[in-house]
Chain A
């Protein structure tokens, strides 16, 4: 009995010693896949990845001011590069974990047509986009509108979400009839509700989303394992693809 107890305590201790926690800051557009990947990661490795979601720009300010994150899954490639340049992150641990896709979406059927002509045709009061100054999906939306020559026309109708989650919220609540959101937000089981137009990639520069290991996570085993899992595990990759990202 005593031996059994000792073994159990020892086993518990060992499991605990090998299972680490890592804090991961995740861009709002990647929130849903990140939670799924974290669950798979925990199942396979025993490590725990704790996900915090928000706007990339806000995370940058928090990281520079000492936020306890080990990893940043950014919505762009500029922020991770900036962090590396400013010695806030571990050099050589930066990689693109997903390439985001932009979609023009309305929860109502027959609003958005297959060519996005609705943008020029009008017939809506508000078009929701993410803040182009800070959100890569917002910048991509403006690029698209300019490429179509529709920017001047729709500018008075733009309503601006502080990140892509709020942009989606404006459209989902019906307050804006349509908006430019991330494909990952509206793709459910390979389908999109309402009407949508997946913006051709030639209309905007690719939204490369980079991951970076921050200084806080330098010696964290779970952080290293999570990045490795995200980069090369097949299940993780399948989850990313299932949300409409490309790799």
Chain B
């Protein structure tokens, strides 16, 4: 670990801290303001989209209608992307003449991008045409992020709205939230930043691949494509699906440390900003900063552990005549080095992004434990766009419930009583996640047709399985990528995992929103447990860690933890 390394981490943290408020206020005005910002420019586009789509922006939806709209939209998303993949050979923007994507892989990929996972069982440069990348995949980078923002807004409205008894119990309009996300937030950030990234070296073209001969006479073919436009939204929407197989480690996706820094800021920007938006909606900015603080604590711990582990190098290699001063450089790029690789791995799994600049599979056991645990904690450390916000709010409800049990009072959050129905739904949300991961991982680890895909033996093989299902259910999309996931079984199971991890969790969140929105607001009293301040931050961090740790510790101890001790003793598999 170096002084410069820590400086880079501190600089990054300060930049995120400083974008939180302006972006949070901006998003509050976009989604909750009476008049949207930059109305003169974006207003006509917004209204045109409402007209083309047949949306009445003044109408609102109940939680059931909101869920139905989201599910219907997502179903079309899966179908359209599946169709584009299967038909890409007869569609335009395919200069390499790539053939149709196989049915199981096409299903897996359609589910993956619709659910904001961006798990990639394929290698982009040899499988997907430019049209599939743009219209089949990057389109979802916008819409799935917008849908996530919508769900976060819906539960925030449920918690913060003060309705009169005669008011309808509505939580917003899904279509308005999606369209405003795209028109006011996502596109206006993406267009200029895509050009900045091109200026720094990202490619952006529709050309066929470039054939060349090097000065030593070696033939090389350079994959091309519209990369920059996809790269920006892939990070900003915490999607993570790389244009190329190597994702953001590929020099055409991130050629310099500066592009890497921009991409890292993009990942956390909206999730951090939403905590401020939430504070604004709650009319109490401290509520937002409290959530931010809990996330920041968990983020910094994760970065610290990953950085320390990777900087220490691989103990098994130390007995060879190598100088490991640079740290564990297997699967890492020179321009990024250890600091950025560890930082990026933590960010991408705190958020449900899943982009990578280094191969997590080749991290040291403890360095690889950090991304895995980040995902298993539910990706609430800033989290996915929207998904992190609604995730941490579920934990916030659980935290007041647990505090309520301890002091013997009905728990309240923002003045709304948290009762049986909300707690049941929250527990369903919490339990469905490990049920999918551990259930399917158990199946995979005893089935020869599943284990034959492993790239590593010993405990690391189990880590590859655990990581795959955690990444799928958490809608992350990063991988211990040695696992060959492009088989019928893996494509199918992971496709189901991703759909379950998205929609079986979103619907309970919306149900909670619907059940909270009509509740009376009880004025705070002496017995009210305060949901701001240091004590609550500690409680919230504790609940997140304990729920995650109790659930996954047994599995983790058989994977990365035991591998750590074996590696120290030089055991090889």
Do these two chains really belong together in a complex? no
List residues of B whose CB falls within 8 A of some A CB.
Answer: none
List residues of A whose CB falls within 8 A of some B CB.
Answer: none
